[in-house]
A = this chain, B = another copy of it.
Amino acid sequence: MRKQSTIKLFFQEAQQAGRFASLVVVSLLLAVPGVLAQADPLPSWNDGPAKQAIVAFVQTTTDTSHPDYVPPEARIATFDQDGTTWVEYPVYTQARYCFDRVATLAQEKPELKDIKPFKTVLSGDKAAIAGLPMADLEKIIGATMTGMTVEALTGQVQQWLETARDTRWKRSYAELVYQPMLEVMQYLRANGYKTYFVTGGSQDFVRAFAQSVYAIPPEQVVGTMGATTFGYDAAGRPKLTEEPRLLLDDNGPGKPEGIHLMIGRRPVAAFGNSVGDREMLEYTQAGSGARLMMLVHHDDAGREYAYGPASKVGTFTDALMAQAKQQNWVVISMKNDWKRIFPWEQ
């Protein structure tokens, strides 16, 4: 059930691109970063409740004289990735990878052009792709992300990321990261926090670039986990092969489950942007002492996108917004809280 829901969501959101693009009004009115004191750890944030919450949390939890002091080993901060630390719209980057990979595979094996569901993907017919049944979506992930060694998958993802460009900004996906969130990660790390990804994306997919793009090492990437199988290559050398077998669906309730499996500690800070992050924030908040729960709200159609409560599109539902208000989770307004969105906007 949960497996199906995530995979379906993954591809369905990718397919919302068409409908969604019509909602987007591109604006060139980029915010101009103001002059800031050198000591400001969050220079891309406007002063406001979101920035104040982050700074207060860090100061409180690292102050040995404060009752809510958190010892260094317990300083765990978890971040969703898609939509929280980089652009997820109109298509999840990993879905883009899978679709592009089908095209690459079709060059090597032209017969794929006549075999469903690859034929459908290669057709570019969005309605047909959106209508693919679950079994076909699993075939696409199986064909593009399993069967090779873990090193081969990493290499394929890294190579793709070097050349692929998004359609709106014509930039590498690695450049579509949110500068304010990079600053939060760095600020937390400078204060003794370990920053983890807790993502619905495939764990080995995100590991392929988490270090170079976000300074997050592979052991701090918690994602949707597929099995690997140990074996030997023709020369008798040990190898690990990616398998099409799900171990843990790291989405929704799977996020606290994945956190426990991989970290074994409850986070004290958690950042997300959708209903898939709800249980992670609840689990974080249920601990004692100071806690920081934040949700990125995409309400900036000009500089990025507006979805969720602002547009009734996407996975930041009205119910999630209501829960955030009720439980004192901090909602980050991209439009109001962020001076700039991307690192290359200077």
Contacts and interface: CB of A to CB of B under 8 A. Distances in A.
Contact of A240 (B150, B204, B260, B263): B260
B247 A229 contact: no
B238 A282 contact: yes
A264 B286 CA distance: 29
A256 B264 CA distance: 20
A230 B260 CA distance: 10
Given A219-B263, A253-B229, A263-B219, A238 B279 contact: yes
Given A73-B217, A248-B247, A257 B240 contact: yes
B264 A219 contact: yes
Nearest to A210: B264
A66 interface: no
B219 A265 contact: yes
- Copies, count: 2
Contact of A230 (B207, B264, B283): B283
Contacts of A264: 203-204, 207, 217-219, 221
A73 B221 CA distance: 15
A235 to B, nearest CB: 10
Given A230-B253, A247-B247, 16 more contacts: A73-B217, A150-B260, A207-B264, A218-B264, A219-B263, A221-B264, A225-B261, A228-B257, A229-B253, A230-B254, A230-B279, A237-B286, A238-B279, A238-B286, A240-B283, A247-B248
Interface of A: 73, 150, 203-204, 207, 217-219, 221, 225, 227-231, 237-238, 240, 247-248, 253-254, 256-257, 260-265, 279, 282-283, 286
26 contacts: A73-B217, A150-B260, A207-B264, A218-B264, A218-B265, A219-B219, A219-B262, A219-B263, A219-B264, A219-B265, A225-B261, A227-B248, A227-B257, A228-B257, A228-B261, A229-B257, A230-B253, A230-B256, A237-B286, A238-B256, A238-B279, A238-B282, A240-B256, A240-B257, A240-B260, A247-B261
